[in-house]
Amino acid sequence: MLIYSKHYFLFASWLPCFAFADVMSLSGLQWSLQNQNGSIVVPGSVPSQVHLDLEKAGVITEPLIGINEFTERWVLNDNWTYTADLTPLTQNITSEQALLVFYGIDTIANITFAGEPLAWVANQFRQYVFDISHILNSSATTDNRNLSIALESAHTYGLNITSRPDAQPPFQYDGIRRYIRKAQSDFGWDWGPAFVPSGVFKPAYLVTLPTTPQNNSTQSPGPASHPLLVSTGSSPIFLEESSLEILKQGQSTQPTLAPDENAPWIVNVTLYVRSSVPITQPSILIEFPELGTKSGDLPVEGLGDTTSGDAKVANAYFSIPEGVPERWNPHSLGNPKLYNATITFSFVRGSSNSSTNATTPGVEGTRESVSYTVRTGFRTIQLVQTPYSDADVRERGITPGDQWHFNVNGKAFYSSGTSVIPFDPFYARITSDKVRWILESAVLSGQNMIRVWGGGIYQPSDELTGGYDFYSACDELGLLAWSELIFADALYPIDDYLLQEIEPEVRQNVRSVKRHPCNVQWAGGNEIEGIVNAASAILLDGKHYKDQFQTLFGEFLHDIVYSEQSSVPYTDCSTTNGVLSLDPYVLRYTNTTPGLIYGNSERYNYDASQAFNYDTYPVSRFVNEFGYPSMPSFYSWEEVLTSPSDFNFNSMVVVSRDHNPPGFSLTFPNPSAPIGQTEMISAVELWLPAPSLLSNTNHTFAQWCYSTQIFQSLNMMSEIAWYRRGAGLGENNLGALVWQMNDVWQGPTWIAVEYSGRWKALNYGMSKIFCTLAVYPFWTPANESLEVWVMSDRWEDVKNISVEMTWFDWKGNEVNKTIKTADVGPLNGTIVWSAQGLQKEILPKGKHAGDVWLSIELTGEVSGKAITNEQVFTPVSLAHVTLLDPQVNVTYTSDLTFTVSAHGGVAPWTWLDHPVGTVGYFVDAQTNVPTNGFYLIPGRDRTVRFIQNQALSKVQDPHPSQFVVRSLWDNTHE
């Protein structure tokens, strides 16, 4: 017998052979992995993926190194089989029911046990449960208890089902991904590799349940920490799935309407029950100990036979008066309050004829129970999509059209955030520490919303079933999560087999997420509505594609999501023109009126000359994608480049990792990569002093990487400021989500935090511009106008905000200073200073545009907390400014506090790099605000402290001398 303890186990063969319930991980078995012809046989593991096990065995090297994406393609083209002997887990089984539980198989697999077929599966996103009791009880299995998982190449499988003329090639691997229920980005994307991995990538278990009366039975002394773990002791119960939803009374029948904020809360619990013995008189009790509130036993009707077939549904709900629980709020607007909910499932063991007078657990006729505890919270979410009223247009100056923003707890708020992609090309090696760092980095940079991009993976709720935790971490951090079903950038076919796979996939994943107060919506997929609108307009059979989209995203998925939950909205697509009607659900598509604003939007413009041209920015209610790529740091390149000659902006290895724009083929390196490389180069050359070819080629490469990041941050801050400014204008913009937050490897991408966890300049930039009170200079070269705005995302008025505007020359001399004060209303902005004409009103008298720059510093107070924010304005591109040697000096202390000073001139974009092997971020030593990439002025030293993430750092005690300081001066000087 194996005793469960997280992912580690204790063999306890000395225990007497009673039949007990148990949960045993398959990770403790001796697994082997072999390819189809048997020429490779190595140790395997679960959870894992083929590439990872081949690397452990020394067959391949780390897939992310060099050009291994190309040289290791042979792995994905082969078929692979994982095999393990289940005898160590089954040798003491007597009369138990035995269930194999897989929380994720990637992707096409034939599963056999003891030579008997269990299933053929073809969906990475589904949970599978197989009853192997009948096989174990057969005498034929005495000598063969091998579990075999034979994985077919997803590429090969896809080729076999896509030999059709309408298949259109997405990204790298031919048009197969839309036919395979697998992470779409596994086949390559414009920001990542195409490894097409396979394996049992999530935890898997053998669950045993007693089938006979137990004279030595015991019940758990308290609630289990997870629904899976109720299957212990004498329990005959396995909870295949469980869900909890908190909503307002009335939402279940009218989910698209605004919830009544004064109505009672409804707590709805659904259990998917299997049992090894007949059970009767089932009931559910729901308790919130911290609130002193419990439901009492709620009878479950119509449960049916739980001993055979699929799991049976047990549902119960009760109400809690409004005002009893504290509400969960995003961290930027309040307290993300969570409560423990204890769920108890009670039953009588035995048939309906059994006596109910027995009192011994495990004996027929005894009333027994299993219970578990989960964390959840009370909040309401609404996606407001109704038209603005005539009064809004007339009195508030709103541009006519539809609304498109979220309300939390009945109030509109500004959504500030980014999107996340998969955290690694190989899911099985993702850790909770890594994911939490990304989420904490989002919070630290002022974000309150994370979008889970629809081309990757459904994010998990816990380590036990998902391998790592995502949604629970978002709950704790007060970070809203915009969730998407896994469909992206393709015209998906309506195929009966696919629909049969998609329905249980969506149901399972929606159920697993709906207890989390962080979740704000389910979008049907990523960027597909725009594709189908274009296809229907230009293709001869365009109506066919639109009809398929309508069936899948406008009806099929919509109905499934709302049949499973009612507390968060469904939208057909991440980027959408919105709806004509919510009930019935009628999509707007292209049924628009010029001059009116609908839905949400995105912006990608790689003409760097237009990066700060506001006329190219969308005037939108909500901008859910916008970005510009940059290089990772030199330190990240050190993790994957193997030759000195590789450390060059246009080396073959570096260029091969630029997948923007995609090549739409398997040609290596990406034939379109020079376009993406040129976009980054031109951006630096236009707006910054371009790094020149210095004698130290590593220094040149490092400065190029740094410079692309500075431009990226400048560009994104400009766009975010523009969208935030729109909150108080006609567009009433209430959302800006940058593309993107995290990286899947080391390469040129749009991200804010590198693969290792190192912050790019963008994450520091977002911490400035997403600040609850932010100041920004809006410069329009065409008419030489400058407006300095203060923007607030608060729900209340903020008064007496001070804005200090100081002109400096490049030596660091103060030229003049102006101080303004301002008040700003809720979710609004105001102009604190404006002028027109550089020489006439804006520049200090006697100064030219290249002589000076403007420092803007805001100070204010919100809820008793001091807020500071700073920005700069340069009248001309820094590429045309003559910088002086700043003569930077750094002093430090042993606690990694650094004081940086300039003695010769201003050092624009002064940047501190922490050593390779360390993960963390810099904060201002006085305010504790994330700070890096600042203008360093002679006589105005900056002191910052490095906050290290010990869990992710390979180097625990870096010496301060290993930290590096650079600025734009170093672009042209060694």
Residues identified as active-site: 527
Q: Is 24 helix (H, G, I), strand (E, B) or coil?
A: strand
Spatial neighbors of 659 by CB under 8 A, at least 6 apart, are 171, 172, 188, 189, 190, 191, 192, 193, 670, 673, 676, 747
Strand partners, 857: 804, 870
Residue 770 neighbours by CB distance under 10 Å: 25
Enter the DSSP assignment of 65.
Answer: S
- What sign has the CA pseudo-torsion 289, 292, 297, 303? negative
Amino acid making up residue 217: S
- Contact between 197 and 425 under an 8 Å Cβ cutoff? The reply is yes
Q: Which of 896, 892, 889, 894 is closest to 945 using CA atoms?
A: 896
- Contact between 170 and 455 under an 8 Å Cβ cutoff? The reply is no
Enter the DSSP assignment of 545.
Answer: H
Q: Which of 601, 883, 901 is closest to 723 using CA atoms?
A: 601
Q: What does the block give as tokens for 74?
A: 């042979």
Among left, alpha and beta (phi > 0; psi -120 to 50; other), residue 562 is alpha
Strand order of the β-sheet with 942-948 is: 888-892, 897-902, 942-948, 920-924
Q: What is the largest CA-CA distance in the chain?
A: 100
The H or E element containing residue 942 is: strand 942-948
Distance CA 19, CA 133 (A): 13
Enter the DSSP assignment of 181.
Answer: B
Query: What is the DSSP track for 747-798?
Result: SSBS-SB-TTSPBPHHHHHHHHHTSSEEEEEEEETTTTEEEEEEEE--SS-E
- Contact between 517 and 484 under an 8 Å Cβ cutoff? The reply is no
Strand partners, 239: 273
Q: Is 571 helix (H, G, I), strand (E, B) or coil?
A: strand
Pairing of strands 411-412, 405-408: antiparallel
3-state secondary structure 588-635: CCCCCCCCCECCCEEECCCCHHHCCCHHHCCCCCCEEEECCCECCCHH
Distance CA 388, CA 391 (A): 8
- What sign has the CA pseudo-torsion 400, 405, 409, 414? negative
